[in-house]
Amino acid sequence: MRDERGGSSVPALAVLVLLGVVAVVGVFGGKKHDDVDFATLTASTTATTITTAPLDTQPFAGTDGLVVHPRAETALYSAPDADPFGKIGPTQFGPTWLPVVEQTDGWVRVLLPSKPNRSTGWLADEDLDRASSSYLIRVHTSSRTIELFQQNKRLGEWKAGVGAKKTPTPPGRTFLLGSSRPSARTDRSRSPA
């Protein structure tokens, strides 16, 4: 094919065909995150076990402090664009903030609060808030202590409980999902019987 100026129109036609293929794949191919059936997915919580969750492949690596918060219930994937295996909600013991252990274009891999220990999942990066945590906690199981650091400055050390022999504290990176403090106020609403 030649255009009126004597040039070839084949490259232009090839570009149009390629754009048409890309449009069809974009419309009909690939995963649509909006089509996830959340009712069939197990929620990742401290009380659940999700045996299909991939495990952290580098449990002794550090993190850069990046944490993400899902703004709504979000699907968890074993790999970018794979089928979902679970879900994570925006609140557990307050807002859910999860440490990022890996990133790729449009996706983040996070540590999960569910069992087994070292569970991870990939989240689509579109509906996540991002923040950075300057805190690091080191647990020393042999001395039963924890150390708290902020920006590599040691803030203190405290006694800590660790797992029993049958359920030992697993080594490697993990995170605090939430914290609680005992109330100094006592419940005076009940009267003795």
Q: What is the tens place of the pLDDT at every residue in 106-130? A: 999 999 999 999 999 999 998 899 9
Does residue 77 contact residue 120 with C-beta atoms inside 8 Å? no
The predicted model gives 82-98 an average pLDDT of 94
Measured CA distances, 173 to 150, 157, 188 (Å): 17, 18, 42
Residue with tokens 């089928």: 83
Show the 3-state SS of 171-191: CCCCCCCCCCCCCCCCCCCCC
Q: Is the pLDDT of residue 76 over 80?
A: yes
The pLDDT of residue 174: 85
- % of residues, the chain, pLDDT over 70: 75
The predicted model gives 50-74 an average pLDDT of 93
The predicted model gives 70-98 an average pLDDT of 95
pLDDT tens column, 35-55: 889 999 999 999 999 999 999
DSSP helix, strand, coil percent of the chain (3-state; round to 5): 15, 35, 50
Q: What average pLDDT is seen over the chain?
A: 81
Question: Which residues, listed in sequence order, are joined to residue 2 by a DSSP beta bridge?
Answer: 8
Residue 128, exposed/middle/buried by CB under 10 A (0-12, 13-18, 19+)?
A: middle
The pLDDT of residue 170: 84
The predicted model gives 131-158 an average pLDDT of 93
The pLDDT of residue 178: 73
- Taking Cα atoms as reference points, which of 30, 162, 129 lies closest to residue 83? 30
